[in-house]
Amino acid sequence: MLREYREYERSVTTLVDAAVKPKVAAYVTNIRTRLDEIAPGVPFYVMKSNGGVLSAGEVVHQPITTMLSGPAAGALGAALISGTAGFDRILYIEQPTARDLEANRGNVMHAAAKLHPIVIDESLTDLHSLLLARDMGYTGVALKACKGQTHAMLMAAAAQKFGMFLCVQDLTCPGASLIHSAGIAARVPGNAGIEANARQFVPSASAAWEARFPGLFTIRDGVMKTGQLTGPGLGAVPPRRG
């Protein structure tokens, strides 16, 4: 009998284990024999459903413990590859679902948000959409100057009130409009980063501003030099005097 809680579950598990045991034993024994011919003495382990391993000798007596070894191995492999690929450098994940949250209430983000902040992006139109996203598991907010400075400030205030992750995004802000976006990124407390793709997609729009704001349109080492934006409020430059 196997150590499975409740009588029915224990009985079914024991029956399945007994049914697959001969096939698993033959399969594992064959691999062990071939492995000994190729590389004598090399350890041979089989993954269990919980991510652990059993030796070849043990697994033939407990084959049921490997039933979910495929998904377990996939998860562990993905974790290893993600670490090697720089998964820990991912700052956040932006809205990975349809824009209409109200019509897609089943697309919740509670589990995904345990890995990285999930930010509401296109769907963020007002306070109601922010609260709805929060209920659905979103843990962050993407501020956009292209939606208006007032909108960005109000959403930033609401996000701070609820302790949400903050970032600035502006795919549609080339040239002078990127300066406005950078001003938000530089001044909103708790902002974690800025996305500024338009400077790459439409470089000609930045040409007239590049010399005046060096390091704002050309990024080096992942840093945008926003310290030069010293105007009052969200202004880029101090007001002229005289």
Ranges of each domain in the chain? 7-68, 90-228
**What pLDDT is recorded for position 139?**
95
- The winner for highest mean pLDDT among 67-81, 177-191, 222-236 is 177-191
**What pLDDT is recorded for position 17?**
83
Q: Transcribe 18-50 into DSSP letters.
A: HHHHHHHHHHHHHHHHHHHHHSTT---EEE-TT
Model confidence at 161, pLDDT cuts 50, 70, 90, reads: very high
The percentage of residues in the chain with a pLDDT greater than 70, rounded to a whole number, is 97
**What pLDDT is recorded for position 62?**
83
pTM for the whole thing? 0.64
The percentage of residues in the chain with a pLDDT greater than 90, rounded to a whole number, is 29
pLDDT per residue as tens digits for the range 7-41 = 777 788 788 888 888 998 899 899 989 999 999 88
- Please state, in angstroms and rounded to a whole number, the distance separating the CA atoms of residues 240 and 242: 7
Model confidence at 3, pLDDT cuts 50, 70, 90, reads: low
Q: Of 134, 137, 145, 136, nearest to 167 (Cα)?
A: 145
- Please state, in angstroms and rounded to a whole number, the distance separating the CA atoms of residues 203 and 186: 22
What is the average per-residue pLDDT within 235-242? 76
Report CA dihedral (229, 237, 164, 139) to the nearest 10 degrees: -80
- The winner for highest mean pLDDT among 156-160, 221-225, 238-242 is 156-160
**What pLDDT is recorded for position 242?**
61
Q: How many residues does the chain have?
A: 242
Q: Which two tokens stand for residue 141?
A: 């907010």
- Please state, in angstroms and rounded to a whole number, the distance separating the CA atoms of residues 171 and 193: 14
Model confidence at 140, pLDDT cuts 50, 70, 90, reads: very high
Model confidence at 2, pLDDT cuts 50, 70, 90, reads: low
- Please state, in angstroms and rounded to a whole number, the distance separating the CA atoms of residues 118 and 137: 8
**What pLDDT is recorded for position 93?**
87
- Residue 179, pLDDT above cutoff 80: yes
- Residue 220, pLDDT above cutoff 80: yes
- Residue 87, pLDDT above cutoff 80: no
- Residue 176, pLDDT above cutoff 90: no
Which CATH code is given to the segment(s) 90-228?
3.20.20.120
**What pLDDT is recorded for position 10?**
75
Residue 46 φ/ψ, nearest 5 degrees = -120, 135
What is the average per-residue pLDDT within 113-135? 92
Q: Radius of gyration of the chain from Cα atoms? A: 28
**What pLDDT is recorded for position 182?**
92
